[in-house]
Structure 1
Amino acid sequence: MTDNHPPSAHSITPPPHVFVLEDNTELRQDILLPALREHGFQVQGAATATELYRTMLTQHVDMIVLDVGLPDEDGFSVARHLRTISDIGIVVLTGHTDRQHQLDALKSGADFYLPKPVDLDVLAITLKNLARRIPSKQHAHKPQPQHKPSTATHWRLEAGGWRLVSPRGKSVVLTASEQCVTTTLATERGSPVSRDLLIRALSRNVYDFDPHRLEMMIHRLRRKVLANTGETLPLITVRGSGYLFTCDGDSSVLSS
């Protein structure tokens, strides 16, 4: 379940977009989201890491309030993954108060660590302080758009899935394996695709297919796209589930 309220029309600049990743529905919907909204943030929330990754494919998120205990992925793992793909601000919330837990959160890439039950005013001030530093990172990247992840819906598969076109119109010719993986992901239209399903699409004999080959293929595809377009391919690893990717394409590519 998500909750998203757009910024008011009279705002000079849009307020920071905060995503609350917390699996406790009452805490998320009845306490955290309303409180942050009252403090002037644009807020959105979900219970699973998969929902966060899906949101980040189509929306810019400035900061995340991250619970450690999630149903589909450890919060520290989420923080580490986010650090590899963005400069998003990360505030970890956890019921653990021991020093090692705090160190683990910070080592995973969190900017701040706040214990539960969290003081809502402290959380809001922490996010506001963090937001003051985030724009400088974003502006520093504007002259070099190749460092900024591209919006997934503006990527496009053409020529039957053999050519991947970036939002800025740069093309990458795909190999047979890359074409198979990208079209399989694209046909799911933003839903995670398991590694097993991708392996079955790639090989008739799934038992002889080394899963590490798939991971290496994804890694090389990301590097290839970045090298050829200067843009980051928004093909996201969903821990414990597989991969997530969405793009535009003609009916011959995206037909089920």
Structure 2
Amino acid sequence: MYRKPNIAIIEDNEDLMDDVLFFLQGSGYNTWGSKSAEYFWRQLHAEPTDIVLVDVGLPGEDGFSVARHLSSLNKFGMIIITARGDQQDKLEGLSSGADLYLIKPINFLSLVEAIDTLWKRICDNTPESAKCEESKVIVSSTHALPEKKNYWQLDDGSHSATFRGVPISLSTQEYALLKQLVDSPGQILNKQDLHDSLFGHVEDVDLHRVDVLLSRLRVKLKLKNIKFPIHSIFGKGVVFKSND
């Protein structure tokens, strides 16, 4: 049985990279990310990598150049992920050495399917297939895993929130949304259910209202230099991942 591949992502859209990292890590892949080609090349020798997901429109060295260099190494699978969907760009991407060329917005479930299909093809065509085999790891029962800490504190009385002691000013609805997510870490919450909880059962449901609240939360946390802990899962909803 083949192990899951190690994935690297080169994507300068930090929110998208966080969402892809979160989804792939939650799906069992060892994944790391870089916002530029330059940082990627510096880290590549230190991070286990089998397949690279490459955006085209990168600052500095662009994705096509990265693809050509990776192809010359003949060691990695490669998937280009880009908003540039015309035929000429696709031909350039594939001729640069990419195995697949996917157009944004990306369906995460389809991305996982593409990764698994590519990895199987790589392993089936690799003479030293032992590198693809799943290793057996023996975990000692004498060592307990460290307890996951929750650095979020929410006060229902004042509708206030803090992260690692940093206060965050929230509206009533922003607080209500954050509380539902913080109280259900790791669970995917449907936007319809969140809408009904926040705004009541109405005939004209507008899920954009939930997106607006999420956007406002994102801005407020960014101003406090707090990494946004809420991730969108394509076609399913949103999930809260407690910051380490």
TM-score by length of 2: 0.50
More helix by share: 1
Say which structure, 1 or 2, has more relative contact order (CA 8 Å, 6+ apart): 1
Who wins on radius of gyration, i.e. which is larger? 2
